[in-house]
Amino acid sequence: MIRLSDFRLSRGRPGLLPPAAAGEPWLMTVIAVLCFLACLAAVAASAADRAAHGWARQLGSEATVQVRPRVGETGDTAAARAAETLSGVAGVEEAAALDRKAAEDLLRPWLGDAVLPDLPLPHLVTVRLNPNAPASAVSLSRALAEAGLDATVDDHSLWRGEVERSAALITALAGAAFLATAFAAAAAIAYATRAGLAAGRGVIETLSLNGATDGRIAWLFQRRFALIAAGAGAIGAGLAGLLLAFLRFLGGSDGLTQALPVTWGDLLLLSPCPLLAATVALVAARFAAMQVLGSGRG
């Protein structure tokens, strides 16, 4: 028979629980897989956000101007005048007219060589803006109008908005995936806690008869499942770290691709995984244990 003194000396040790309440290796496997998926979701959100902000910065530092020549003026001359005009605008670092060969090089992957010689191409000027104090589309248009040029300025604001909205959506989806995996882990731990309480009913009744409170009995299950979840979280985070390291070596300086730039700093996102898994296990086991113990008292 278990005495109260034995419980007081051993209440921090999970050895008082029967083996069936220990959680089984399958529970640890499930939590490790869920932690692995949660880590990948967190890294994917970070990489997508990094890529989107990089694209937005690149789009925000450039502008494109389409020039329409006047009567008696060639397109190349009009584009050269527009580039010279824009070079003197505050907030512009460089403006250069895009010749036909450069325009054809941009279109060749999409249209091929057959139609390019006979295709009428717009006369464009590429503008590189000061990243700290970029010139606005209004100021560029005003300078062109004052120089007597018929031109349209595209500051890529529409594309920047689309990129930022896409990044926000990807981040939200990754956050939802992380919460879903955390909920699944909590549900698995709660189920295992209930099974452990049912299997250890005789031990629980003996502890209660010796004066153990529901809180102390529940703590035995909390501690046990927290240790299991922490170990599983470390395994899941370690596997995710190995996969990310492989992708980093595979992709070189760009990570995996420019669309998903994985960096070594992303490995820091994996470090809280064991602690978060243990916290989820503590909360889930606490609620499940107290609910079962309370219903048993009733």
What tens digit of pLDDT does each residue of 171-226 get?
788 778 878 887 887 787 777 767 766 666 666 677 777 777 878 877 877 888 88
Angstrom distances, CA of residue 120 to CA of 105, 115, 116: 14, 10, 8
The rounded average pLDDT for each run of 10 residues, N- to C-terminus, in the chain (298 residues) is 42 50 70 87 80 74 86 84 88 85 76 75 85 84 88 80 77 80 79 70 71 78 85 92 83 58 82 88 81 66
Long-range Cβ contact pairs of 162-170 (< 8 A, separation 24 or more) = 163/52, 163/55, 163/56, 163/59, 164/52, 164/56, 166/52, 167/48, 167/49, 167/51, 167/52, 167/53, 167/56, 170/44, 170/45, 170/48, 170/49, 170/52
- 0.75 exceeded by pTM: no
What is the reported pLDDT for 251?
64
Q: Are strands 150-154 and 92-98 parallel, antiparallel or unpaired?
A: unpaired
CB 21 within 8 A of CB 196: yes
Q: Are strands 150-154 and 62-68 parallel, antiparallel or unpaired?
A: antiparallel
Q: What angle do CA 180, 218, 37 make, to 5 degrees?
A: 20
CB 199 within 8 A of CB 21: yes
What is the reported pLDDT for 255?
57
What is the reported pLDDT for 297?
56
CB 127 within 8 A of CB 151: no
Sheet holding 62-68, edge to edge: 92-98, 123-129, 62-68, 150-154
What gap in Å lies between CA 60 and CA 67, rounded to an integer?
21
What gap in Å lies between CA 279 and CA 74, rounded to an integer?
71
- As a whole number of Å, the end-to-end CA separation of the chain is 25
What is the reported pLDDT for 235?
94
What is the reported pLDDT for 239?
94
What is the reported pLDDT for 53?
74
What gap in Å lies between CA 10 and CA 122, rounded to an integer?
83
